[in-house]
Amino acid sequence: MSSTRVRRRVNAPRASVYRALLDARAVAQWMVPTGMTSHVHAFDAREGGSFRISLTYDAPTERGKTTAHTDTYHGRFVKLVTNERVVEVVEFETTDPALRGEMTITIALVEAG
């Protein structure tokens, strides 16, 4: 099992960031990699709730994992700790066995020091 750690500084109160992580419109707007457009198909922001999101490459030369230019993934909210933590389990929708499998994403919100 591998692990990747990413740190981001967001100039906003933790409560605002937490609310944005659980808001489908906010997720579609700012949880998108550069060069992609997001479409939220379903989003039930509660512990045990599920979501489904597609990310489509803006450049026609980029290949998607699900269709020619799109990566679609689905997941569920495993743990929500108000203003502190969001834990999701996600899986890409793909026919490529190398890209299958669940990933756990833990977002920990801390005050910048």
Please report the DSSP string for the chain in residue order: ----------SS-HHHHHHHHT-HHHHHHHSS-TTEEEEEEEE--STT-EEEEEEEESSTTSPPSSSSSEEEEEEEEEEEETTTEEEEEEEE--S-GGG-S-EEEEEE-----
pLDDT-derived band at 105 (thresholds 50, 70, 90) equals very high
**pTM for this predicted structure:** 0.90
Q: Where are the domains of the chain?
A: 14-108
Distance CA 48, CA 52 (A): 14
Q: How confident is the model at residue 102 (pLDDT cuts 50, 70, 90)?
A: very high
**How many CB atoms within 10 Å of residue 106?**
11
CATH number of 14-108: 3.30.530.20
Q: In this predicted model, what pLDDT tens digit does every residue of 61-75 receive, in sequence order?
A: 999 998 899 999 999
pLDDT level of residue 8 (50, 70, 90 thresholds): confident
60's CB contacts (< 8 A; 6+ apart) are: 69
Q: What is the mean pLDDT of residues 76-98?
A: 96
**Residue 51: HSE in the Cβ half-sphere, 13 Å Cα cutoff:** 24
Given pLDDT bands bounded at 50, 70 and 90, which one contains residue 112? confident
Tokens of 97: 């066995």
| Each residue's pLDDT tens digit, 18-63 | 999 999 999 999 899 999 999 999 999 999 999 999 999 999 899 9
